[in-house]
Amino acid sequence: MTRPGARPDLLVGLFVLLLGVLTLWQASVIPDSPIYAQVGPKPVPYGVGAGLLALGVGLLASALRGGWSHGLEDVQEAPPTNWRALGLLLAGLAANLVLIGPLGFSFAATVQFVLVAAAFGSRRPLRDLVLALVLTLLVWFGFVEVLGVNIGAGLLEGLVLRFFGLEVDP
């Protein structure tokens, strides 16, 4: 049923399926928090595990139908590495690591967003900056107000809270 060269595709599907099973198993052994929390640490790992299982089943089904990598032998040489884009991606990660402690989540994530957008070819840094500010502040607000998870108020969060006349938690 499978073509002769589909073995690597089958192995990739089995690996992803195994990864999903491993993720679900590890999610099941995460201890329950003694502190009441509306959202505990288990839903996201369970979701990731379920997604990996679904992906693994899909990859296996594709491999059994002949594989997805057939015909790749005819593909031309890969394009050269875009070092500028790679550098911008790494700079975004480094900026987040360096800035999140002293300046807070929203500032660090905004800088990272703008750098990653530039790495993916965006030529509108002002638009990216405004969009990033709005999104990161909404995410921060969602964590703090909706989920009840205090991820700390940094520089931008403090300014927004003061603007609305709310208290800034230390």
Interval 141-159: pLDDT, tens? 888 878 778 787 788 888 8
Closest by CA to 137, choosing from 116, 115, 153, is: 153
Q: What is the dihedral of CA 112, 117, 119, 120, to 10 degrees?
A: 150
| Cβ contacts of 6 within 8 Å, gap of 6 or more | 63, 64, 66, 67, 69, 70
E strand intervals along the chain: none
How much of the chain is in helix, strand and coil states, percent to nearest 5?
A: 70, 0, 30
Give 82 or 76, the one with higher predicted confidence: 82
pLDDT band at residue 131, thresholds of 50, 70 and 90?
A: very high
Whether the pLDDT of residue 2 is over 60: the answer is: no
For the ranges 15-29, 74-88, 102-116, the lowest mean pLDDT is seen at 74-88
- Residue 155: the pLDDT is 83
Does pTM top 0.85 for this prediction? no
Instruction: Average the pLDDT over 77-91 and give the result.
Output: 91
Phi, psi of 2 (to 5 degrees): -90, 155
Angstrom distance (rounded) from CA 38 to CA 142: 14
What confidence score (pLDDT) does residue 32 get?
78
Q: Report the mean per-residue pLDDT for the chain.
A: 87
Question: What share of the chain in percent tops pLDDT 90?
Answer: 55
- Give alpha helix (H) positions in 29-66: 43-64
CB 114, CB 125: distance < 8 Å: yes
